[in-house]
């Protein structure tokens, strides 16, 4: 941070930042502006100008705070990912179309019972939009500090599901808290990948101890997912975990060894389990 401490300088920089809507870049811009101003002040003082006069000269040389603020706002504008937004909208539309078709052509429609799939989807869509808007205000980079805590929380959640939840369609995935039911096998894989992304950021895969620790962190949830009898959840989790490990710097040879190890366990879980698993696997 610059050593210049002056009211005029602070007011100038704050005026510039007030015109920049992307608050995430404010700290970086303040640092850069202070650095430029300090360089000009130092050169002016070296030429024999007083500090106050040097500050005035520096601010004049920097130019209009309004012009700079507007230009920087354009340069650091948060652009929407229109491709992703278009794809998401198309999937939502397709979901509504499919759900509407199912509701109006359902074989379960009777005078006493008429499933309101469409109405439920509207509720879920409304909740999802609210959560999405709230997430835009979240600086996800701050989650990195809680990566290990998030990982431990999810492990505990899966363990509680294994011991406390009843079997539903041959799987233990619903954790009941009073009248509230939580599908832990839908939530935990996503949160685990988020936590692993934070843990493996700048991770030292070249150290043998760290390598074993990283494999263990990926291995524990996969075994717990297999214990819940959800092969599909295990597979999705492992694919995402391998991707995170590779991006974080894991060498290809170690990645192949890890993949082979988990593929062996995955195969044993399928072929040593109930016969329907093999049938579903080969049908897929």
Q: What angle do CA 214, 228, 276 make, to 5 degrees?
A: 120
Write down the pLDDT at residue 269.
66
The predicted pLDDT at position 278 comes to 63
pLDDT on residue 279:
67
DSSP code for 206: T
**Which tokens go with 219?**
């291995």
Q: What is the pLDDT of residue 223?
A: 87
Contact at 8 Å (CB) between 81 and 106? no
Predicted confidence at residue 114, as pLDDT, reads 54
C-alpha to C-alpha distance for 132 and 268, rounded to whole angstroms: 39
199 near 151, Cβ under 8 Å?
yes
Please tell me the predicted confidence (pLDDT) of residue 144: 83
Could you give the CA distance from residue 38 to residue 25 in angstroms, rounded to a whole number? 20
63: left (phi over 0), alpha (psi -120 to 50) or beta: left
| pTM greater than the 0.75 cutoff | no
The answer to whether 183 touches 230, Cβ cutoff 8 Å, is no
pLDDT at 2 (0 to 100): 46
3-class state of residue 50 by DSSP: coil
Average pLDDT by consecutive 10-residue portion of the chain (284 residues)?
66 87 83 87 86 86 86 73 78 82 65 64 83 75 85 92 76 75 85 91 87 90 83 85 88 82 73 63 63
DSSP state of 141: G
User: DSSP alpha helices (H): ranges in 113-169?
Assistant: 117-136, 147-164
CA-based radius of gyration for the chain: 28
Burial of 173 (0-12, 13-18, 19+ CB in 10 A): buried
- In this prediction, residue 176 carries a pLDDT of 77
């Amino acid at each position: 941070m610059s050593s210049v401490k002056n009211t005029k300088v602070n007011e100038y920089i704050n005026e510039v930042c007030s015109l920049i809507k992307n608050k995430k870049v404010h700290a970086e811009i303040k640092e850069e502006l202070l650095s430029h101003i300090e360089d000009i002040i130092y050169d002016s003082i070296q030429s024999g100008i007083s500090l106050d006069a040097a500050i005035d000269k520096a601010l004049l040389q920097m130019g209009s705070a309004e012009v700079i603020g507007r230009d920087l706002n354009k340069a650091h504008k948060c652009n929407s990912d229109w491709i992703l937004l278009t794809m998401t909208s198309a999937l939502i539309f397709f979901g509504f179309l499919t759900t509407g078709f199912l509701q109006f052509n359902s074989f379960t429609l009777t005078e006493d019972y008429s499933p309101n799939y469409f109405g439920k989807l509207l509720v879920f869509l409304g909740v999802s939009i609210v959560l999405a808007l709230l997430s835009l205000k979240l600086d996800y980079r701050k989650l990195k500090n809680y990566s290990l805590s998030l990982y431990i929380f999810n492990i505990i959640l899966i363990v509680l599901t294994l011991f406390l939840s009843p079997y539903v369609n041959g799987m233990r995935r619903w954790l009941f808290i009073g009248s509230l039911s939580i599908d832990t096998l839908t939530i935990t894989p996503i949160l685990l990948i988020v936590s692993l992304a934070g843990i493996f950021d700048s991770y030292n895969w070249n150290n043998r101890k760290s390598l074993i620790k990283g494999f263990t962190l990926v291995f524990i949830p996969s075994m717990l997912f297999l214990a819940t009898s959800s092969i599909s959840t295990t597979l999705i989790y492992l694919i995402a975990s391998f991707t995170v490990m590779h991006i974080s710097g894991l060498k290809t040879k170690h990645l192949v060894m890890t993949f082979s190890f988990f593929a062996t366990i995955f195969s044993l879980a399928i072929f040593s389990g109930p016969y329907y698993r093999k049938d579903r696997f080969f049908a897929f």
